[in-house]
Amino acid sequence: MLDFKIKDVFSALWKTKSFMLFRFLIYFGITIAYVIATGAGAGVGSLIGKVAGESEAGAFYGIIGGFGLVTGILFYVREYLLYMVKAGHIAVILKYLDKEEIPSGKGQISYAQAIVKDRFKEASVLFAVDQVIKKVVKFITSLFEGILSFLPFIPQPIVKFVNAIVKNSTTYVDEIILAYNIKNEIDNPWEGSKQAVVLYAQNYKVFLKNAVFVTVISWILTALVMLLTFGPIALLLQLTGQVGGMWPLMIAIVASISIKAALIDPFAMTALMQVFFKVTQDQQPNPEWEGKLEQGSKKFREMKEKAMSWVSTNTGAGSADVGNTGSGNTSFDNNGVVDDDSPTVRFKTTTGQG
């Protein structure tokens, strides 16, 4: 049984349709940028290649150059996309789910971004928090992989397939944790994220069940979008008289991922926000789970240190009590302490619910 209501999810998305349109225009613009850049690159490359009698080779390298140019630009604006688009949409959805009045039209976008700026003064802070969250969540996910490794009766291909789905299902966890900071109006983003990560960990089985379902549906819809966009993109690119082969497929993949980010991801994100706040309602971070994360995850320890440093910097205090260090008993084996980037963590664990 799923722990979210699809009706409420669609209702939230409809009420935030101004932000949905904002997201769509941004990601649609990204797709158009790839089409223009690869098409123009092919044309310029072909002209340059003619000089050396290698028109096709010139077009090929021109396409690569155009594709790389847009990708490089996106790399440098990724903080803005997180700060103004994803976090902003999270903020306005939260307000709606909490039964608060939200503006419509352009005012909705400004309203949401003001909330984000109030919680995260700079985009770089939000981006730094987001990157650490992803590493800690990766460590938590490895718990599930470790459990599966102790079940030899399950064929390895199935284990690998399940692990791949589980890893993909954590795509939205960092956004949910950012939502926790915004919902609870926590001034210290590192402390709020630390609390949310522990809450997620102690309820990871329930969350994963819902996340896996949502992820599978999301990627099925994305595959359908790719099939539907391939034809029009191939036709558009062929109008340049330069592009063919694998490039229409590559652009179709980019287009489908952009549409997923604009329209499908908000559905998944909203559904899992419902799950997180429903399951963790009235819960406190479990000290035992905090201890496990602190022992096993270098990035979690970094998160705790930054939470204390944030308090010291912003209050002028030399130190701060940011919660129980979670020194309770753990059931790690001798190899339990690992770097977050390790592929698998193997130890026995309990759910630590509550």
The encoded tokens of residue 337 equal: 């302490």
Q: What are phi and psi of 91, to 5 degrees?
A: -60, -45
- Output the tens digit of pLDDT for each of the chain's 354 residues: 778 888 999 999 999 988 888 888 888 888 888 888 888 888 888 888 888 778 778 888 888 898 889 888 888 777 677 677 888 899 999 988 888 888 877 788 888 888 888 877 766 777 888 888 888 888 877 776 666 666 666 666 776 777 777 776 677 888 888 899 889 888 888 999 999 999 998 998 888 888 888 888 888 988 898 888 887 877 776 766 555 567 677 777 878 888 888 888 899 999 999 999 999 998 999 999 999 888 888 889 998 999 888 865 555 443 334 344 333 333 334 344 444 444 333 333 344 444
Q: What is the pTM of this model?
A: 0.74
Long-range contacts of 103-108, Cβ-Cβ distance < 8 Å, separation of 24 or more: 104/18, 105/18, 106/18, 108/16, 108/18, 108/19
Which residue ranges make up each domain of the chain?
6-315
Give the whole-angstrom CA distance, residue 197 versus residue 206. Answer: 14
Three-state DSSP state, 22: helix
